[in-house]
Amino acid sequence: MTANPLARRTRRSPLARREARWGYLFLSPWILGFLAFTLLPMIATLAFTFTNITLSQDEPLQFVGADNYRRLLGDPQMWRSLGVTMRFAILWLPTTIVAPFALALLLNARSLHGSRVFRILFFLPYVVPFVAGVFLWQSMLSNAGWVNAALGFIGISDTPDWLFDRDWIYPALVIIGIWGIGAGVVINMAGLQGIPGELYDAAQIDGAGWWGQLRHVTIPFMTPIIFYSLVLGVVEVMQYFLVPLVLKSGTGEPGGATLFYNLYLYKNFFTFQNMSYGATLAWFLFVITLAVTLVLFRTSRHWVYYAGER
Amino acid sequence: MSIVETRRRLAIVIPMLALIVSACGSQGTSSPAASSGASGGTGETVEIRWYCCLGTGEDAEAQLPTENRIVEEFNATHPNIHLTFEVVTYDEARDTLATQLAAGNPPDIVGPVGIGGAEAFHGEWLDLNPLIEQSGFDLSKYEQAAVELYAAGGEGQVGIPFAVYPSVLFYRKSLFDEAGLNEPPHAYGDPYVWPDGTEAEWNYDTIKELGLRLTVDENGKDATEAGFDPSAVVQYGYEPQRDDLRGMGAYFGPGSIDSGDGQTAEIPAAWADSWKYFYDGMWKDGFILTGPDYDSDQWAGQVDYAFFTGRVAMSTNFLWSTYGVAEGGDDWDVAAVPANGSTTTSPLNADTFRIMKDSKHPSEAFEVLSYFLQDASPDLLNIYAGMPAVPSEQDDFFTTYQEQFPNQVDWQVVKDSLQYADIPNWEGYMPAYNETLDRILAYGDKWATTEGLNMDDEIAALQAEIQGIWDQ
């Protein structure tokens, strides 16, 4: 007699059932926490978007349909803030992928003496509280700061007004961000060290030089790490908030160039106290981030190489 | 369940219910007259929270020591009240107070708070009339107009005048001497006299002419001379009060963005003229600092206002800015604010202390308020650089205030400026106050940092965006 395969999949042994029970038991704190502090608030904010909830609630609470979404689409400041975020993303995303990868390559090089010291030095800024780091960079990037002093030393007299010029503020933010790429460097180094050495030997035998090895061995094997960094980078850049808040007190100066989407969202929640519209902005951000992430996952099958896959 | 057990349970439950009911009762808003005598009969000490700093008041060296001393002195002489002092820096003060209000945990007394800071919490202030009547607080010593300033808006008498800061024209004598120019007029209505003896009306056209002559590049050429290098300016002719576009506009004439119906946004014509004048002054004529230059370390980046560097010849600003003018040298004085056509306006800042509508102890809070406005008033006015709202106290205030400056300042100009105060006040009520103000500040920053804008289009866009906010 042939056993029903479906029944075989669903029927568990007493041991398996006991293990599952214990598994759920150990998972339950996280599940409860997820339900209470993530899923339910998310559902609540989605419900907010169809109401007129404010923190002070001067008017009676009521269902307003899609009013908040209509407002969102017609809000010029929302589009400007989204544009600010996109402009910064164009500059930041390549940097957040390339810089840690390049640094990891350097730190992983056999010819580098004292690589452990360099690894510590590059990781060190990551453990400094980021707000403190922002204040530090605020001073370094001021007109009379060290950065301009260094530029002056090498003969550049017309130094940038990093923090008050609409064109220079984005490079300044990228420089501040680079300071915190220590974690990215560690992840890239772990990826590099996971590439089998035999592949480089084989490539060398085939006549591949440094560039050939990088192009045909290193980069293909690093694509999962690059993909991971890219997805995280997209999520981070859409939520970019802390640096402009600390650097410019959330004013958006200069000329609105630092009024990032997430900062505008924050202002609607806590400065204007408009919880409904703030929640609508948050959900719109979620949808955009989700869409970009899905596109990345969709395209990943064409350029991300997993060594274990067939 | 036995009768004994039932009684025992009731004995526990009933007092608990009573406690809950009484606790809930105390949450409600009580009328001031009926409120609180909790301290009186029982000898119980009431805690009153003083929330600072929606305006000035946070300076660790110049203000906090005096404020803390006043709190200590108050507590030593008022055993029925324990006054606590909460300092939240200006940048965070609005958000923090809003959060406290939303959480049902408002402070009792807030201040010093200006008109704008208070309007951001429109509807949250206690009408003081019953307490004024109950305590016999004397309002007759104030100018009637000053009292009415705090009675506008349909919320009752939400404040009592305390400190006023008229606008004046600050200027540096040495820079005028160096350029061979006469100093600006001190008396309102007087003309400006050019070195050749010709007279010109004291208005913003004259300011522009003077400003160009007083804007100097690193080669010593002024902005009217051939070969002047606008990229290497070491001294500017004029600096407006640029904290808020509304205030900037009010120097050209009083007004409000609220057309009067509380729903329609309309930029006053005088404000639009002023914004165009200042924009051209920055980007076309070059006698006013552009935004990026203004914020740089060479100018306001280190000293709050560019005039404090000693390298700006004239600046219209409020009286409170005297806190920093001496940093640029002791060669400064004050002159009359110029006119825009036939209209002279000295935009006004006014600070006072207010009591929150939801204060649990309004009577005690009013006792604190009265102490601030009377016993502690000389000390507080001195640290806030605020001219007393009581006219009879102004001469004494300026006699004391002058002591910190080596140069003799013509304080009469400040007193005269009060007659040209802007009514309605530029910081007055407008719908969706915080969000509207945020958008106004964003546009002001954009104009200060962007060259080549069509200001008519910009002003129309600002009005449309404000209307969009109000329509929500």
Which one-letter amino acid corresponds to residue A247?
Answer: L
Neighbours of B405 (CB within 10 A): 13
Model confidence at B36: pLDDT above 50: no
Q: Which two tokens stand for residue B72?
A: 């200590």
Give me the mean pLDDT over the A61-66 stretch. 94
Q: Which two tokens stand for residue B245?
A: 């576009």
Cβ within 8 Å of A, B 409-438: 432, 434-435, 438
B461 and B314 inside one domain: yes
Neighbours of B398 (CB within 10 A): 17
The percent of residues in chain B predicted with pLDDT above 90, rounded, is 77
Cis peptide before B184 (omega within 30 of 0): no
What confidence score (pLDDT) does residue B288 get?
98
User: Cα(B126)–Cα(B362) distance, rounded to whole angstroms?
Assistant: 8
B120 and B69 inside one domain: yes
Question: Which domain range does residue B462 map to?
Answer: 167-347+431-471
Model confidence at B278: pLDDT above 80: yes
Which residues in chain A have their CB less than 8 angstroms from residue B448's CB?
255
Contact A143 B297 (CB under 8 A): yes
CATH architecture assigned to A72-303: Orthogonal Bundle (1.10)
Total of domains in chain B: 2
Cis peptide before B424 (omega within 30 of 0): yes
Model confidence at B37: pLDDT above 60: no
User: Cα(B232)–Cα(B49) distance, rounded to whole angstroms?
Assistant: 51
Q: Does B123 touch chain A (CB under 8 A)?
A: yes
- Which of residues B281 and B297 earns the better pLDDT score? B281
What value, to the nearest 5°, has the Cα angle with vertex B93 and ends B89 and B97? 145
DSSP states along B428-443: ---SSHHHHHHHHHHH
Instruction: Give yes or no for a contact between B338 and B207, defined as CB atoms under 8 angstroms apart.
Output: yes
B181 and B145 inside one domain: no
Distance between B464 CA and the closest CA of chain A, angstroms: 10
Closest CA to B108 of B131, B130, B124, B129: B124
The percent of residues in chain A predicted with pLDDT above 70, rounded, is 96
B52 and B187 inside one domain: no
Report yes or no on B435 lying in a domain. Answer: yes
What confidence score (pLDDT) does residue A205 get?
94
Query: Dihedral of CA A208/A214/A219/A222: which sign?
Result: positive
E strand or H helix at A177: helix A169-178
What confidence score (pLDDT) does residue B155 get?
84
Report yes or no on B386 lying in a domain. Answer: yes
B224 and B213 inside one domain: yes
| CATH number (domain holding residue B444) | 3.40.190.10
What confidence score (pLDDT) does residue A58 get?
75
Instruction: Give yes or no for a contact between B334 and B414, defined as CB atoms under 8 angstroms apart.
Output: yes
Give phi and psi for A47, each to the nearest 5: -65, -40
E strand or H helix at B334: strand B332-335
- pLDDT tens sequence across B52-110: 999 889 998 889 999 999 999 999 999 999 999 999 998 889 889 988 988 889 999 99
Which residues in chain B have their CB less than 8 angstroms from residue A272's CB?
432, 434-435, 438
B339 and B375 inside one domain: no
Q: Does B262 touch chain A (CB under 8 A)?
A: no
B321 and B390 inside one domain: no
In this structure, are strands B312-318 and B167-172 parallel, antiparallel, or unpaired?
antiparallel
Which residues, at least 6 apart from B168, have a Cβ–Cβ distance to it below 8 Å? Answer: B316, B317, B319, B334, B335, B336, B337, B346, B413, B414, B417
Beta bridge partners of A117: none
Distance between A33 CA and the closest CA of chain B, angstroms: 24
Report yes or no on B33 lying in a domain. Answer: no
E strand or H helix at A19: helix A14-34
What confidence score (pLDDT) does residue A10 get?
64
User: Cα(B179)–Cα(B434) distance, rounded to whole angstroms?
Assistant: 44
Which residues, at least 6 apart from B404, have a Cβ–Cβ distance to it below 8 Å? Answer: B326
Interface test with B, best of A62, A64, A139, A272 (most B CBs within 10 A): A272
Buried/exposed B437-459: b ≥16 CB within 10 Å, e otherwise: bbbbbbbbbbbbbbeeeebeebb
Report yes or no on B18 lying in a domain. Answer: no
Buried/exposed B108-119: b ≥16 CB within 10 Å, e otherwise: bbbbbbbbbbbb
What value, to the nearest 5°, has the Cα angle with vertex B220 and ends B217 and B224? 70
B319 and B461 inside one domain: yes
Interface test with A, best of B294, B438, B466, B471 (most A CBs within 10 A): B438
> Residue B87, exposed/middle/buried by CB under 10 A (0-12, 13-18, 19+)?
middle
Contact A255 B450 (CB under 8 A): yes
Which residues in chain A have their CB less than 8 angstroms from residue B95's CB?
270-271
- Which of residues B301 and A268 earns the better pLDDT score? A268
Task: Parse chain A into domains and list their residue ranges.
Answer: 13-48, 72-303
What confidence score (pLDDT) does residue A310 get?
53
Give me the mean pLDDT over the A31-48 stretch. 96
* Strand, helix or coil for residue A140: helix
Contact B435 A274 (CB under 8 A): yes
Instruction: Give yes or no for a contact between B246 and B271, defined as CB atoms under 8 angstroms apart.
Output: yes
Using pLDDT thresholds of 50, 70 and 90, give the confidence band for residue A4.
Answer: low
What confidence score (pLDDT) does residue B19 get?
38
Neighbours of B66 (CB within 10 A): 17
Give phi and psi for A257, each to the nearest 5: -70, -15
Which residues in chain B have their CB less than 8 angstroms from residue A274's CB?
435
What confidence score (pLDDT) does residue B20 get?
39
- pLDDT tens sequence across B380-405: 999 998 999 999 999 999 999 999 99
- pLDDT tens sequence across B177-190: 999 999 999 999 99
Last residue of a domain, one of B402, B419, B445: B402
Q: Does B460 touch chain A (CB under 8 A)?
A: no
Contact A267 B438 (CB under 8 A): yes
B224 and B249 inside one domain: yes
In this structure, are strands B199-200 and B192-193 parallel, antiparallel, or unpaired?
antiparallel
What confidence score (pLDDT) does residue B390 get?
93
Contact A256 B445 (CB under 8 A): yes
Using pLDDT thresholds of 50, 70 and 90, give the confidence band for residue B347.
Answer: very high
B291 and B391 inside one domain: no
- pLDDT tens sequence across A235-266: 999 999 999 999 998 899 999 999 999 999 99
User: Cα(A254)–Cα(A166) distance, rounded to whole angstroms?
Assistant: 6
Report yes or no on B237 lying in a domain. Answer: yes
In this complex, which of B102, B446, B448 lies closest to A56 when CB atoms are compared?
B102
- Which of residues B322 and B39 earns the better pLDDT score? B322
Interface test with A, best of B295, B358, B437 (most A CBs within 10 A): B295
Model confidence at B142: pLDDT above 60: yes
**Alpha-carbon distances, residue A107 vs A101, A110, A220, B378 (angstroms):** 10, 8, 19, 66
Cβ within 8 Å of A, B 185-204: none
State chain B's mean pLDDT as an integer. Answer: 90
In this complex, which of B94, B445, B461 lies closest to A252 when CB atoms are compared?
B445
Model confidence at B13: pLDDT above 50: no
The percent of residues in chain A predicted with pLDDT above 90, rounded, is 75
Q: Which two tokens stand for residue A159?
A: 């130094």
Give me the mean pLDDT over the A176-198 stretch. 92
User: Cα(A303)–Cα(A222) distance, rounded to whole angstroms?
Assistant: 11
Nearest CA in chain B to A58: B123
User: Cα(B420)–Cα(B422) distance, rounded to whole angstroms?
Assistant: 6
Neighbours of B358 (CB within 10 A): 18
**Alpha-carbon distances, residue B34 vs B30, B47, B160, B362 (angstroms):** 7, 18, 21, 10
Nearest CA in chain B to A169: B292
Interface test with A, best of B296, B302, B303, B357 (most A CBs within 10 A): B296
Contact B292 A267 (CB under 8 A): no
What confidence score (pLDDT) does residue B91 get?
82
Model confidence at B238: pLDDT above 90: yes
The percent of residues in chain B predicted with pLDDT above 70, rounded, is 91
B217 and B326 inside one domain: yes
What confidence score (pLDDT) does residue B41 get?
46
**Alpha-carbon distances, residue A172 vs A163, B291, B448 (angstroms):** 7, 18, 20
B280 and B178 inside one domain: yes
User: Cα(B63)–Cα(B430) distance, rounded to whole angstroms?
Assistant: 31
Model confidence at B434: pLDDT above 70: yes
Look at phi and psi of residue A105 and say left if phi exceeds 0, alpha if psi is from -120 to 50, else beta: alpha
What confidence score (pLDDT) does residue A188 get?
95
Give me the mean pLDDT over the B189-210 stretch. 98
Report yes or no on B448 lying in a domain. Answer: yes
